[in-house]
Amino acid sequence: MSHKPDPNKNVNLTIDGIPVTVPEGTRILEAAKKVNIKIPVLCEHPELCKRAICRICVVECDGRGKLLAACANDVWEGVNIVTNSVRLLDIRKTIIELILANHPQDCLSCVRSKNCELQSLAADFGICKQPFERKEMKCKPPLHEGNVLVRDMDKCVKCGRCVEVCQEIQTIRSINTSHRSVNYEINTPYSQPLIDSACVLCGHCATVCPVGAIYEHDESARVLEMLNKEKLHKVVQIDPALCTVFDKQFELPAGTVTPGKIATALKQLGFDKVFDAKFSGRLSVKEEIDELLTRQKNNNGKLPLISGCSPNVIKFAGINYPDLKEHFSQCTDAHGIIDKLARSKYSEISGIDPAAIAAVTVTPCISGKFRLSDTGKDASGELCSFVLSINEIISLFRKKGVILNNLTESPFDDVTGLFDDTDSISVKTLTVHGYANARTVLDSVRRGECDADLVKIMNCPDGFKYTDCCAFPDF
């Protein structure tokens, strides 16, 4: 019978000659961090389970010949751990070189260049040349999954992070492993594209990928082309709360980037109007409440009303709970609202041809880019309605040389006449974080045991922390 660690019991050990005291059940990797010793990792991720796949983090314990993975083994009383012997450094370097021997050599053109964990490890171990003979690689073109993700599986290092986040954290199960030994690979069911599967394009696989095997589809070049079209009138909406993300990405002191500077920066990019996204978020909430009240008043709709932070949620519910279709909200998401209003009420107020208006929404979450269908095209039929992630708008700032901390303040554009304000209405709302939790709640709806008026499903799991995690506006 396995011993269950007691977190109230301390364990004494030494790591590279430094005494350490940690709670029982602490992993070697975590114990080393406590005394500022960095053990290199590749497959390990703080929010995922113990992995021990890449073996880069192996350490020596009590002088034994057998090596242990620091990411998957707990410390024990009195153990003497060595993390940086000549033997270990050679083993780690060889593992990295073997991975690189079967990896495309296109770092300069890779989307993850300078932000790639494999590239960083190679630099840390001084790997400048490839000692192993590289087999001829027949590289496949990257597969674009709608306008949300790109998969370039030639760059996959088979760490399994994406598999676990899809299988265990989000319970979507659209990414799995196949074959064994040298043929082992990360794959999708029947090798079909994610966009054609049960995948909801939540983007979490891209968030945990350490290399450029799964990454965000970048539409910044298309938006830049759109911004250069003088005949178009461009409007954008962004949540001022994203200021903190800009501070972090541009390595600025907290509070440097203000909402006023963001408004100025977007005007410098070429946008004619900059709106506060909280207003369209509020209208989206109003649409939901109106739909809910209509159902309650006329008794002509199933309750609870099931809604989500983005269209991904509707795809998830439609695939997994088609019998609850009558519960699904028909409301427009925040981008759909700004796009629709820009071409109707705003067009009417400003006297601008609806076909000459381009609408863009900046979202903090990759999943926010998912669209059930393309909306908004100019007179020539070109798409002029986009959802950009925070990373894409930062890319545009860098390309255009916009220096955020040196900008003057500008107000967001007035929305009077464009947005109808509304009083908040209290309804019994159950907010669900992540699709694993969503299954539990929707199962209760199916059984008739959910007493909420409104069930709102969020893409990101509760407690699963991402810098690009989305949260529904709180009004």
Q: Write out the DSSP string of 378-415.
A: -TTS-B-EEEEEHHHHHHHHHHTT--GGGPPP-PPPP-
- Count of other CB atoms within 10 angstroms of residue 436: 16
pLDDT score for 377? 59
Mean pLDDT, consecutive 10-residue segments, the chain of 475 residues? 76 96 95 96 90 93 90 95 95 94 88 92 90 72 90 94 94 92 88 91 93 94 92 93 91 93 96 92 85 83 86 90 92 84 87 90 88 60 82 92 92 80 74 92 94 90 42 33
- Count of other CB atoms within 10 angstroms of residue 299: 8
Q: Half-sphere exposure of 262 toward its Cβ, with a 13 Å CA cutoff?
A: 28
Which DSSP string do the residues of 39-78 spell out, in sequence order?
Answer: PP-SS--TTS-----S-TTEEEETT-SSEEETTT-B--TT
pLDDT score for 471? 31
pLDDT score for 74? 94
For the domain 10-84, what is the CATH code? 3.10.20.740
Q: If we measure between CA atoms, which residue out of 264, 271, 253 comes closest to residue 388?
A: 271
For the domain 220-279+333-406, what is the CATH code? 3.40.50.1780
Asked whether the whole model's pTM tops 0.75, one would answer yes
Q: If we measure between CA atoms, which residue out of 236, 241, 244, 223 comes closest to residue 265?
A: 236
Cβ-contact 239, 364 below 8 angstroms:
yes
pLDDT tens column, 125-164? 999 887 777 666 677 889 999 889 999 999 999 999 999 9
Report residue 121: phi and psi, to 5°: -65, -40
Q: If we measure between CA atoms, which residue out of 414, 415, 272, 396 comes closest to residue 337?
A: 415
For strand 185-187 and strand 18-23, is the pairing parallel, antiparallel, or unpaired?
Answer: unpaired
Q: Delimit the domains of the chain by residue range.
A: 10-84, 106-216, 220-279+333-406
CA 117 and chain centroid, separation: 17
Burial letters 191-211, b for 16+ CB under 10 A, else e: eeebeebebbbbbbbbbbbbb
| Distance from the first to the final alpha carbon of the chain | 52
Amino acid occupying residue 369: K
Assign 271 to helix, strand or coil: coil
pLDDT score for 106? 87
Query: Rounded to whole angstroms, how far apart are CA atoms 326 and 306?
Result: 9
Q: If we measure between CA atoms, which residue out of 135, 184, 132 comes closest to residue 159?
A: 184
CATH classification of 106-216, choosing from 3.40.190.10, 3.40.640.10, 3.30.70.20, 3.30.930.10?
A: 3.30.70.20
Query: Rounded to whole angstroms, how far apart are CA atoms 475 and 458?
Result: 16
